[in-house]
Amino acid sequence: MMKFGVHVSKAGGLNKALQDAISLKCDTIQMFAGSPRSLRKSIINEDEALAFRRGLDQEHIRPLVIHAPYLLNLASPKETTYELSTRALSEEIIRSLSLGADYLVFHPGNHLGSGIEAGTQRIAAAITKACDMAGLTRKCGLLLLLEMVSGAGTEVGWMFDHQRAIMDMAEEAPLGICLDTCHMFAAGHDIATREGLAGTLEQLDRILGISSVGVVHANDSVGALGSRLDRHADIGQGMIGEEGFRVILGNSKLREVPFVLETPKKNLEDDKRNLAAIRRLAREAVTW
Ligand SMILES: [Zn+2]
Ligand SMILES: [Zn+2]
């Protein structure tokens, strides 16, 4: 059975997030542990966290994925931003551990003109430092996932080679990757056709290994193939389309990986509709 879930809001508290996940019949969920648009510290209440973890276990909602704030820039050549981002990542790791999360997803960063190579070096050093600060080792059970991004502006992490370089340099850190169907399509990986997806996965396997993939973010794309535009669309309603999702969902290598939706939403009905769409397309998909 494939696992599907959505990014749930934590704005109403952890229990509300859990109740939303249950009402949507999520197999897995993603959420922000703190505030998505600020690097301010937010403390997690221990009792609330414990109840949340018990609830997830009872409902068999796993894995729990945490998405780091968007403001993090581990590739920044500016010293203050870099230090702030490194510390914010370590705090995010601590919050993820106290929530019992399986994965912490983050965007590698923006090099702001210093170049991909300098960017990947900064990112790897920041990850190593953040793991040290938070005391994160491979034994902790939390995996950090470098998200594949669309390559807008000076983003690092839209080619598998970028993640490879980071992983090689941050060799002590427990690292994996998070695919994002919208980002990858926008970055120029033609994942909407069998030939294109087979080629992309062959590349992924050769450079990083298929087993490094912890989570897939399932989003349709407003932008065309190679547009570098990071704008998510409802499942089946963008440039990947229903047939593209049938191709993706039918692939036997991806069927083992949990799919989390980050589709546009104003309320739970939007999530409900997109979840129904992706589950239907998974049933219609021909396994290959
Ligand atoms: Zn993301
Ligand atoms: Zn994503």
Is the pLDDT assigned to residue 36 strictly greater than 90? no
**Residue 51 pLDDT > 80:** yes
**What SS3 state is found at 217?**
strand
Ligand 1 centroid to residue 71 C-alpha, Å: 11
191 alpha carbon – ligand 1 mean position (Å): 18
Is residue 214 within 8 Å of 257, Cβ to Cβ? yes
Amino acid 44: pLDDT: 82
User: pLDDT of 160-213, one tens digit each?
Assistant: 999 999 999 999 999 999 999 999 999 999 999 999 999 999 999 999 999 999
Q: Print burial letters for 91-111: b (CB count within 10 Å at least 16), e (below 16).
A: bbbbbbbbbbbbbbbbbbbbb
Tokens of 50: 């414990």
Dist. CA 146 → ligand 1 center (Å): 9
CATH 3.20.20.150 fits 4-284, yes or no: yes
The β-bridge partners of 182 are none
From ligand 2's centre to the CA of 33, what distance in Å? 16
Cα angle 163, 164, 169 (rounded to 5 degrees) comes to: 100
Dist. CA 213–CA 256, nearest whole Å: 10
Ligand 2 centroid – CA 176 distance (Å): 14
* Confidence band of 37 (pLDDT split at 50, 70, 90): low
Q: Using an 8 Å Cβ cutoff, are 104 and 145 in contact?
A: yes
CA of 144 to the centre of ligand 2 (A): 14
C-alpha of residue 23 to centroid of ligand 1, in Å? 24
What are the residue boundaries of the structural domains of the chain, listed by start?
4-284
Report pTM. 0.96
Residue type, 101: A
Q: Are 130 and 162 in contact (CB under 8 A)?
A: no
Ligand 1 centroid distance, CA of 124 (Å): 18
Distance 137 CA to ligand 1 centre (A): 23
